[in-house]
Amino acid sequence: MGGLDKNAGTGPVNQEPEFSSVSVLEKVREKGKVWEDLAKKYGVDNPDPPWKINLDSTCEALSAEQCALPVLERRNEEDVLSESLYQDVPYPERQLLALAHSMIERGLIDEDELALRMKFVSKRLNSA
């Protein structure tokens, strides 16, 4: 069914990449509260967290014109990470961790600057 078309220009995807853990993401994996727990705690019934749309849009934008992260490579790596480092994390939290992992792996963002930015963002979002 034309599956080869998917590989055009995106490099080999059948080779399963190997990943090692990333400290800043490990902290989120270990301590982050997942949506299904938060939803239960606060009695809300929407199945996806509010940030899911933004996450999907980031994935789309990354594979658009400049194509910093081709969709097929991202999905392949998400599959691998979902069955290894992030296998105990529910969806869509593991999709987010996998995306950040792929971006760090490629040098699109730096681990240290991500950690620093998370501090700033956390302070901003939690300000009264």
Partner 1 sequence: MAEKHKPAPMVDEVSDFEVLEVAVRELAIEKGLFSAEDHRRFAEFAHSIGPLPAGRLVAKSWLDPEFKKLALEDGFTASKEVGIDWLNPTGFGTPSDYCDLRVLENTPSVHHVVVCTLCSCYPRPILGHSPEWYRTPNYRRRLVRWPRQVLSEFGLQIPADVEVRVEDSNQKCRFMVMPMRPEGTEDWSEDQLAEIVTRDCMLGVALPHPDRKADDKRPVHKAANPVHGH
In degrees, rounded to 5, the angle at the alpha carbon of residue 16 between the alpha carbons of residues 77 and 86 is 45
CB of 20 to partner 1, least distance (A): 19
Q: How far apart are CB 43 and partner 1 at their closest, in Å?
A: 4
CB 99 within 8 A of CB 59: yes
Site map 2..31 versus partner 1, x via CB under 8 A: xx-xx-x----x-----------x-xx--x
Give the x/- contact pattern for partner 1 in 36-75, rule: CB under 8 A: --xx-xxxx----xxx-xxxxxx-xxxxxxx-x--xx--x
Backbone angles phi, psi at 14, to 5 degrees: -80, -20
